[in-house]
Structure formats: C-alpha cells, structure tokens
C-alpha cells in the first residue's frame, strides 16, 4: 500500500468569487512547480470557511512546497483571497 501526505488547511475567505477565480491558475502553478503534488480538493464550509485538502507524494514534497509559498502568480492570487488561517494540519493517508 502506498501512503501519501495529506495537507488540511482550514481558512476564512469572505471574497468567494476571487478565491474561486484564482483556483484553476493556482492548481496549474502547483502542478508545474511543486514536485510531488498529486491533487487538491476545496470544500466550502459554513460561515465563509473553507477546507483545502491537498495530497502530496511525501512529507518532504509538502515541506518543500511550504518553503516556496506564493512564488508564482496563480498561487499568490489564491493566497491573497484568504482572509485568515483557521488551522493547518498534516497527516498520512492509510
């Protein structure tokens, strides 16, 4: 069985249109620039909160991505639409 690293980021974003408009370019930038990026799913929660579930091949890939931050325009645009971080966790799929 292959395990992967799962990133769970919960955040507040009151500018839903901006967030959703930036999402496709952010995903394209991740696919082009982030080694080990597998996929991402964005979940809308109540009260302008969102949960971003991102799968990485390894914990090292996730750590390297965190170090890069918003280094490309699509990623920076998505991050700019986030008002506040609620929580961030890392786990392993089983």
Say what the alpha-carbon torsion angle 33, 36, 41, 47 is, to the nearest 10 degrees. -70
Taking 70 as the threshold, does the pLDDT of residue 1 lie above it? no
Taking 80 as the threshold, does the pLDDT of residue 57 lie above it? yes
**pLDDT tens digits, one per residue of 66-94:** 999 999 999 999 999 999 999 999 999 98
| Joined tokens for residue 33 | 């620039």
Task: List alpha helices for 5-72, DSSP H.
Answer: 16-33, 59-68
Of all residues in the chain, the percent with pLDDT exceeding 90 is 94
* Global pTM value: 0.93
Q: Can you give the pLDDT at residue 82?
A: 97
């Amino acid at each position: 069985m292959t395990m992967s690293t799962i990133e769970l980021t919960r955040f507040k974003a009151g500018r839903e249109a901006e967030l959703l408009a930036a999402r496709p370019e952010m995903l394209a930038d991740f696919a082009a620039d982030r080694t080990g990026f597998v996929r991402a799913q964005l979940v809308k929660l109540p009260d302008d909160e969102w949960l971003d579930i991102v799968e990485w091949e390894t914990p090292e890939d996730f750590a390297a991505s965190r170090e890069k931050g918003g280094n490309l325009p699509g990623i920076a645009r998505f991050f700019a639409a986030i008002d506040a971080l609620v929580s961030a966790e890392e786990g392993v799929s089983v």
